[in-house]
Structure 1
Amino acid sequence: MKTMDEKLKQPAGILHGIGEEKEKELQQLGLFTIYDLLHHFPYRYENMEVEPVEKLRHGDRVTIAGMIQSEPAVRYYGRKKSRLSVRILVENILVTAVFFNRAFLKSRMNSGDMLTLTGKWDKYKLTITVQDVQWGSPDPSRQLQPVYSVGGGITVKKMSRWIQQALQAFGNNVEEVLPESLLSSYRLSSRSEAFHMIHMPADKEKLKQARRRFVYEELLTFQLKMQTFKRQERLASAGNTHEFNKAEVETFLQTLPFPLTGAQRRVIDEITKDMQDPLKMNRLLQGDVGSGKTVVAAAAMYACHLAGGQSALMVPTEILAEQHADGLRQLYAETGLNVVLLTGSVKGRKRRERNTAIYEGEADIVVGTHALIQEDVNFKNLGLVITDEQHRFGVEQRRILRDKGYEPDVLFMTATPIPRTLAISVFGDMDVSSIDELPAGRKPIQTYWVKHGMLERILRFIDKQVKEGRQAYVICPLIEESDMLDVQNAIDVHAQLQQFLDSCHVGLMHGRLSSEEKEQVMQAFAANEIQVLVSTTVVEVGVNVPNASVMLIYDADRFGLSQLHQLRGRIGRGEYQSYCVLMADPKGENGQERMRIMQETEDGFTLSEKDLELRGPGDFFGRKQSGMPDFKIADVVHDYRALETARRDAASLIQSRSFWNDQQYAGLRSILEESGILDGTKLD
């Protein structure tokens, strides 16, 4: 005899009305089994609730109920096209109901029949263009009609009918996966009850209860997988215990020419504690532009040196590697640490000498680009790997660098503040440290939103700044002119600015330049050989030019808040007052709202949360971001409290002995077993 769980694994084709062709179409939608159908949740609901006529809004989809008062009339036009109209009495008001291409309904309509109609309301003509008709009075159980994602020859009605079949046959005895302790603690509906309520909600309150149940279940099972994977990974790699005296790290910090912020000190404590732990560190360090991540990295690398290990810092560009190396040499001036720079430009005898220093352990800190992962680079004792702007490197590149040491601790750094909800979702297999405080004394960047008509005035301002010795960035969304988009492109803007700003050197940079060409342009800009740099967003991450005080962004409404903030972070790095000018004529409220928010705040974490609210998680990372989990029902923006709760509960369960042994957790354990994580399978 089949268990209930086995019955749900039966093919969807066993249901009445699903033939071989329809079964194939369901499979193309990813629906293979009864279980899949039950988990194919509606993406929205049609509100079929009847409202008084005087409350109906023009143009809305509405539901009304009334009695037929006139003989239905049909008018034919064109080939096979028809218009049926009939007068019905709704609350003592005569309303005209119009049906297109459904002349066959005329024979069914009789004076005095009660109809419940759903369609588009014309307030001025007292007319409803009918989409759905039911004979009889409104059915209270049909007030919320589910709408499903469909495709091929499958209609929403067919999908709804099959899912209701599955519910009637199997829905009453669905096995529960959540333990009674969690069900009662959060007052959650049973799984069986929730399936019925989400597919056939009696009212909005029942629907809310069902959704709350499935959101928590989905987030909890996801977090259990993440936490288990994290636990398995850490247990599988013993890592290295870095033995050092924290007092010596503090002595180094006291030599710095500036005081650390409270956030920097907190993060340094988190990282050094990880390094002293025997399990391998796998931590993400996120901090706003200018928050002082480099100093935190320097403290971690100094701790690694005290423990007898070498550190590698991999960055995306040569100029950034050179700046990091120079900065670290200044920070380590009183320690005697040997900082070695290794990039693609280092060749011949110099490269061999530096490779030897790395191999023999004379190089304490190695800063470089992709050159660090070449076969000829071998470390004596690599204990700490730090990747700056980790999203710029592939997984394989990061793995190659890690494999040059024996289970080194790993620290990823990013200047893109990630909202806490996404950090929990996407980086759940990492620990996350956030520097959410900027150093004291930084001058706020003055941000202005202007219309395109003010361009000449802005360019005069840039010219004035350049004549005072400053430099400027001018950012465009495209490289070349496009027939599809009416936005400024870098090549045309560069030509225009060369004419307008004829007293200075205007440079051009975009993604089609080779890496070497980009490096040359940025080197020239850093050396003030170029005063105004016209560029696409390739300058978003990288070079530090303290002399740059103006950032002009064309068509700023085409960028997200986080990207605008990253671009703005290229300026305001020196002693001079800096200005960011957002030039945009946004058509929608969303674009205008982003411009307003940018003027009001410089806090990257606040902006990232706002960006997430405005654009959603898919657009925050880009549609093809592989790390973004694809939830069926949960929304990491709106369900952030449930996500926090699920993460806390998952961490507690994974660490408890009872979770791995007690019968009440068997359902959750079976989900982990089926995912393959317990067998060491890589987490999707």
Structure 2
Amino acid sequence: MKLEQIAVKQIKGVSALKEGELHAFGVRTVADLLAYFPFRYEDYRLRELSEVKNGEKATVLGVVRGAPLLQRYGRSKSRLTCKVEVGGMLITAVWFNRHFLQEQLKPAREIMLTGKWEQHRLQITVSESEFPDSAKNSKSGSLQPVYSVGGNITQQWMRKTIAAALEQYGPMVEEVLPYELVEEHKLMSRAEAFRLLHMPGDFRKGQEARRRMVYEELFLFQLKLQAYRSMNRRRNDGIAFRIDSETIRSFASTLPFELTDAQKKVINEILVDMRRGYSMNRLLQGDVGSGKTVVAAIALYGAVKTGHQGALMVPTEILAEQHAKSLQRLYDGTGLQVGLLTGSLTERKRRDVLAGLQMGLIDVVVGTHALIQDDVFFHNLGLVVTDEQHRFGVNQRSVLRRKGLNPDVLTMTATPIPRTLAITAFGDMDVSSIREMPKGRKPIKTYWVKHDAMDRVLGFIRKEVAAGRQAYVICPLIEESDKLDVQNAIDQYVQLQQAFPDLKVGLLHGRLTAAEKDAVMSEFSSNESQVLVATTVVEVGVDVPNATLMIIMDAERFGLSQLHQLRGRVGRGEHQSHCILMADPKSENGRERMKVMTETNDGFEVARRDLELRGPGDFFGTKQSGLPEFRVADMVADYEVLELAREDAGRLTERDDFWTNESFARLWAILREDPLFKGEQLD
């Protein structure tokens, strides 16, 4: 019988009551319990006091040298002190609420103390202590695992139960990695790694055990993605677009600007994919303003020129209209027909667009989620492009994909993702990155100021508007909050109207209807309003080249990537743009974010630092992240192992004998248990 089939109650010492408590932690089988690894270790290895820094926690061995002194405070609180000699030094040991130890502190008795060392006082505040002459299970000299526990399950019980499980079932732990990989990377066996992660003995062995399990976790995750990708390619049931390079070069030469080297590189990567017989699944990432839309336009042009249609799905109506106009300008003179499909179209216009799509009269359609309604049919959909894909649910993207016969998919994002996350979250995708800005684009100058500098900021707004420019003022909230002392958009709007009675100030927030938002943005785009007070709804919004000033109130309340997205709303025209972060951050993390923003304009660097500061779980936001929960691996700290695991998984799944060689049988079993390999669509 496999460990996955043995109920946790079969372990010695697990009662029906305790079994129920373990179920609450997701532990149902022996396999679950053995894989319930500690999240850290308590270090009880003995140290010399001379090695311990002030304020550090340490374990030392000493001898009682004086009579203990007990002080009581009220009924239940007490302070016990005693002189102890440690390594020839006389120190004071202090216990709180451990009055019962008074009787045991006999002069000349050896004692082990664990606690915080205060060098200037020659004092140790004791959290744990034991007497070697009476301790049955001494922690002295060891590393003790610390588990995530709760309810009636204590650390001590969990340690004892896992030790019992290892003794009973440890030899039954099966190897899952192929022998060749274990040998190549000099990994210990799986059974040994399980034992040492729970009872490491010393740090070196514990680190070796962790290295083994980190590699296994990342390899098995990447194996699923790479095997799916390999199967998809072997099916070869996609569209092999016969795109002529000269046709693309000819179209590119008509553009009103020169493509950057980075744009040319990613266009080439996309066209190579489109010419292949399997469905393209590529992520295109690049900073705001790096020219992703032009790359998508060229890919869509290539699809249309081979007799197919293209679709571009974006999250907002404003963005859809903007993209439709941009594509019409780029395709001017080529004969390509661009359609727009959004929820606010009149019934008659909608019917015309639907008919045009079904009959093949519309070559490229730009739209919001209106594109995925049941009554939308394409004549011959070949390429699907989604912009800011993290704003669509998984199902929305896959519905659009199913409107064609295995169309190619290009996903765009202006939130640069560090490579570590890209190959984890999007491991089944090929990733193209534009890391170069168009020529002549001026870097945005970013400043961090305190809130008491508001008068100077108002003067700066006045100066920019006098020069014919416009300004955004971003607030974290719409209305005043009892719980949060932060600037809100409505108050800020009123204050700016009073400060600039001669200017038109607009107000944009999430509670406005789509039509109201469009009207406000339309006024700002046409310079009818000079200052726009907004919440983060402008994060993905229209292109206003005349806006040169971005002011972000309470900037410490935003994440790094969000601050960078907001900053990207300016700097789109020929004039120098500025971003002012108004913040009084109390946390070190908040100050670090302000520092990063003033140091770099590179979205990829911002994303890398954001990942370091926040960790992968919060990078995308938990709802749509799709990131796996690893037990041991950390995508930031273990990025080198992640790269290695991906290479190994890719190499293995591309082998002709992968599905027939018996040495990979354990891997087949793992893959076949996964929903991806039971016929479900990966998106």
CA contact (8 A) 2:418 2:608 kept: yes
Equivalent position of 2:328 in the other structure: 329
Task: Give 2:125's match in structure 1, choosing from 118, 125, 129.
Answer: 129
Equivalent position of 2:516 in the other structure: 517
CA contact (8 A) 1:287 1:416 kept: yes
SS at match of 2:321: helix
Matches within 5 A, 1:293-304: 293-304=292-303
Matched, 1:119 2:118: no
Equivalent position of 2:351 in the other structure: 352
SS at match of 2:130: strand
Q: How far does the alpha carbon of each residue in 1:128-147 deviate from its partner, in whole angstroms, 9 at most, with x for none?
A: 23222232299797432211
Distance 1:471 1:597 in 2: 25
Query: Partner amino acid for 1:545?
Result: V
Equivalent position of 1:488 in the other structure: 487
Equivalent position of 1:438 in the other structure: 437
Equivalent position of 1:408 in the other structure: 407
Query: Partner amino acid for 1:609?
Result: R
Distance 2:407 2:682 in 1: 21
Give unmatched runs, 5+ long, in structure 2: none
CA contact (8 A) 1:555 1:583 kept: yes
- Single out whichever of 650-659 and 569-578 deviates more from structure 2: 650-659
CA contact (8 A) 2:390 2:624 kept: no
- Single out whichever of 429-438 and 367-376 deviates more from structure 2: 367-376
User: Residues 634, 595 of structure 1: CA spacing in aligned structure 2 closer, same or farther, 3 A cutoff?
Assistant: same
Distance 1:269 1:60 in 2: 56
User: Residues 345, 681 of structure 1: CA spacing in aligned structure 2 closer, same or farther, 3 A cutoff?
Assistant: closer
- Single out whichever of 82-91 and 589-598 deviates more from structure 2: 82-91
Q: CA deviation at 1:507?
A: 0.8
Distance 1:396 1:678 in 2: 18
Distance 1:108 1:596 in 2: 54
Matched, 1:15 2:5: no
Distance 1:16 1:75 in 2: 43
Distance 1:76 1:595 in 2: 48
Q: CA deviation at 1:573?
A: 0.6
Q: CA deviation at 1:76?
A: 4.4
Equivalent position of 2:91 in the other structure: 95
Equivalent position of 2:589 in the other structure: 590
Distance 1:683 1:110 in 2: 68
- Single out whichever of 196-205 and 7-16 deviates more from structure 2: 7-16
CA contact (8 A) 1:119 1:129 kept: yes
Query: Partner amino acid for 1:554?
Result: M
Equivalent position of 1:311 in the other structure: 310
Q: TM-score, normalised by structure 1?
A: 0.95
Distance 1:299 1:677 in 2: 32
Q: How far does the alpha carbon of each residue in 1:608-655 deviate from its partner, in whole angstroms, 9 at most, with x for none?
A: 011101111112112333412111111111111110110110011111
Distance 2:629 2:233 in 1: 25
CA contact (8 A) 2:446 2:581 kept: yes
SS at match of 1:483: coil
Distance 1:398 1:677 in 2: 17
Q: How far does the alpha carbon of each residue in 1:50-85 deviate from its partner, in whole angstroms, 9 at most, with x for none?
A: 332244334332211111223444444433444443
Matched, 1:53 2:49: yes
CA contact (8 A) 1:8 1:170 kept: no
Q: CA deviation at 1:173?
A: 4.8
Q: CA deviation at 1:286?
A: 1.1
CA contact (8 A) 1:264 1:435 kept: yes
SS at match of 1:308: coil
CA contact (8 A) 1:140 1:202 kept: no
Matched, 1:69 2:65: yes
Q: CA deviation at 1:43?
A: 0.8
CA contact (8 A) 1:44 1:148 kept: yes
Equivalent position of 2:338 in the other structure: 339
SS at match of 1:116: strand
CA contact (8 A) 1:232 1:680 kept: no
CA contact (8 A) 2:281 2:410 kept: yes
SS at match of 2:92: strand
Distance 1:66 1:179 in 2: 50
SS at match of 2:255: coil
Q: CA deviation at 1:683?
A: 6.2
Distance 2:465 2:156 in 1: 66
- Single out whichever of 552-561 and 642-651 deviates more from structure 2: 552-561
Distance 2:140 2:429 in 1: 46
CA contact (8 A) 2:442 2:576 kept: yes
CA contact (8 A) 1:612 1:637 kept: yes
- Single out whichever of 524-533 and 66-75 deviates more from structure 2: 66-75
SS at match of 1:271: helix
CA contact (8 A) 1:177 1:666 kept: no
Matched, 1:546 2:542: no
Query: Partner amino acid for 1:642?
Result: V
What is the percentage of aligned positions where both structures have the same residue? 56
Distance 1:676 1:498 in 2: 56
Equivalent position of 1:633 in the other structure: 632
Q: CA deviation at 1:467?
A: 1.6
Equivalent position of 2:464 in the other structure: 465
Give unmatched runs, 5+ long, in structure 1: none
User: Residues 337, 176 of structure 1: CA spacing in aligned structure 2 closer, same or farther, 3 A cutoff?
Assistant: same
Query: Partner amino acid for 1:476?
Result: C
Matched, 1:238 2:237: yes
Distance 1:270 1:181 in 2: 33
User: Residues 672, 377 of structure 1: CA spacing in aligned structure 2 closer, same or farther, 3 A cutoff?
Assistant: closer
Q: Aligned residue pairs: how many?
A: 680
Query: Partner amino acid for 1:433?
Result: S
User: Residues 14, 313 of structure 1: CA spacing in aligned structure 2 closer, same or farther, 3 A cutoff?
Assistant: same
Matched, 1:161 2:157: no
- Runs of 4 or more consecutive aligned structure 1 residues displaced over 6 Å after TM superposition: 137-141
Q: How far does the alpha carbon of each residue in 1:541-586 deviate from its partner, in whole angstroms, 9 at most, with x for none?
A: 1200000000001111221221111101100111111111111122
User: Residues 122, 364 of structure 1: CA spacing in aligned structure 2 closer, same or farther, 3 A cutoff?
Assistant: same
User: Residues 678, 408 of structure 1: CA spacing in aligned structure 2 closer, same or farther, 3 A cutoff?
Assistant: closer
SS at match of 1:661: coil
SS at match of 2:376: coil
Q: TM-score, normalised by structure 2?
A: 0.95
CA contact (8 A) 2:46 2:140 kept: no
SS at match of 1:659: coil
CA contact (8 A) 2:12 2:165 kept: no
CA contact (8 A) 1:228 1:677 kept: no
Q: How far does the alpha carbon of each residue in 1:19-48 deviate from its partner, in whole angstroms, 9 at most, with x for none?
A: 111111111011112211211111111222
SS at match of 2:162: helix
Equivalent position of 1:499 in the other structure: 498
Equivalent position of 1:386 in the other structure: 385
User: Residues 218, 7 of structure 1: CA spacing in aligned structure 2 closer, same or farther, 3 A cutoff?
Assistant: closer
CA contact (8 A) 2:281 2:429 kept: yes
Equivalent position of 1:609 in the other structure: 608
Q: How far does the alpha carbon of each residue in 1:392-447 deviate from its partner, in whole angstroms, 9 at most, with x for none?
A: 22223223322322222111111111111111111112222111211111111111
Q: CA deviation at 1:202?
A: 2.2
Matched, 1:32 2:28: yes
User: Residues 509, 129 of structure 1: CA spacing in aligned structure 2 closer, same or farther, 3 A cutoff?
Assistant: same
SS at match of 1:239: coil
SS at match of 2:94: strand
- Single out whichever of 667-676 and 424-433 deviates more from structure 2: 667-676
Query: Partner amino acid for 2:604?
Result: F
User: Residues 677, 340 of structure 1: CA spacing in aligned structure 2 closer, same or farther, 3 A cutoff?
Assistant: closer
Equivalent position of 1:110 in the other structure: 106
Q: CA deviation at 1:236?
A: 5.9
Distance 1:682 1:639 in 2: 29
User: Residues 180, 402 of structure 1: CA spacing in aligned structure 2 closer, same or farther, 3 A cutoff?
Assistant: closer
Q: CA deviation at 1:166?
A: 1.6
**How large is the RMSD of aligned CA atoms in angstroms?**
2.1
